[in-house]
Amino acid sequence: MEVIIMKELLEANDKLAENNRKYFKDRNIYAVNLMGSPGSGKTTLISAINKALSDIQIGVIEGDIESSIDTERLGKEGVKSVQINTCGECHLDAKVIRDGAEMLDMKDAIVFIENVGNLICPAEFDLGENLRLLGASVPEGDDKPFKYVPMFSYAEVVAITKSDLIEAVGYDIENSYKGLRAVSEAKAFEISCKTGKGVNEIADYLKNAFLNM
């Protein structure tokens, strides 16, 4: 019985995600579903990309279980953002993304959807995004692609964040690529928002994808 309910729930979500895709297309929005563990550097990455892309409008739909810390932080930097509190839910779904997109009310923009910090559940929910981006931070360990296969295989682009900490935490980057390549052909960027490494590269990648969609 539980299996049937879950299947129905995901099918209903997929229909709403298709509507979202049309909504984003009609408004010339390139939507990026940014997933990753709690504290993997998602908001910091959005902030850095926003600074790198001064000629492109950026909007953010922020998903958190509680609080508006991330939207307040982005607001101070002049980034238009809306906050969704899931009140305990471990992922965002297509319904709340539509509500968030209407609140954000933007067009001709790259819109980041910062998903709830979680390396498991968000990989089951299509939001109608254009791109699934995973922020996988160095302090989490190089073995994560081997252990969280659904998420690493769901992502179309992987940002290896906090690369300035590679030596400090003994991160074996070859091992992380070995795990990633076993399950995915996702494009990978090595990024540090502290030193700026890789920020312009991922920003340009998103800009090109937006301008050529």
Chain positions contacting ligand GTP, by CB under 6 A: 36, 38-44, 70, 117, 161-162, 164-165, 192-194
**Which residues, 6 or more positions from 176, have their beta carbon under 8 angstroms from its beta carbon?**
136, 142, 143, 144, 145, 160
- Interface residue with Mg ion among 30, 33, 41, 70 (CB under 5 A) is 70
CB nearer ligand GTP, residue 16 or residue 113? 113
Q: Which residue lies nearer to ligand GTP by CB, 20 or 192?
A: 192
Q: Is the dihedral of CA 3, 7, 8, 9 positive or negative?
A: positive
44 binds, among ligand GTP, Mg ion, none (CB under 5 to 8 A by kind): ligand GTP
To Mg ion, the closest distance from the beta carbon of 6 in angstroms equals: 27
The least CB distance from residue 60 to Mg ion, in Å, is: 10
- Separation CA 114–CA 37 (nearest Å): 11
Which one of ligand GTP, Mg ion, none interacts with residue 196, CB within 5 to 8 A by kind?
Answer: none
Tell me whether residue 161 or residue 163 sits nearer to Mg ion (CB atom). Answer: 161
CB of 100 to ligand GTP, least distance (A): 15
Among residues 169, 107, 115, 109, the alpha carbon closest in space to that of 137 is found at 169
Q: What is the DSSP string of 51-101?
A: HH-TTS-EEEEEEESS--HHHHHHHHTT-EEEEEE-TT-SS--HHHHHHHH
Residue 140: DSSP 8-state: G
Binding residue (CB under 5 A) for Mg ion from 20, 33, 40, 43: 43
Q: How far is the CB of 184 from ligand GTP (least distance, A)?
A: 21
Between 16 and 71, CB nearer to ligand GTP: 71
Site for Mg ion in 105-144 (CB under 5 A): none
Question: Which residue is it, tokens 């290896």?
Answer: 160
The residues that bridge with 110 in the sheet, in sequence order, are: 30, 58
Q: Which residues bind Mg ion (CB under 5 A)?
A: 42-43, 70
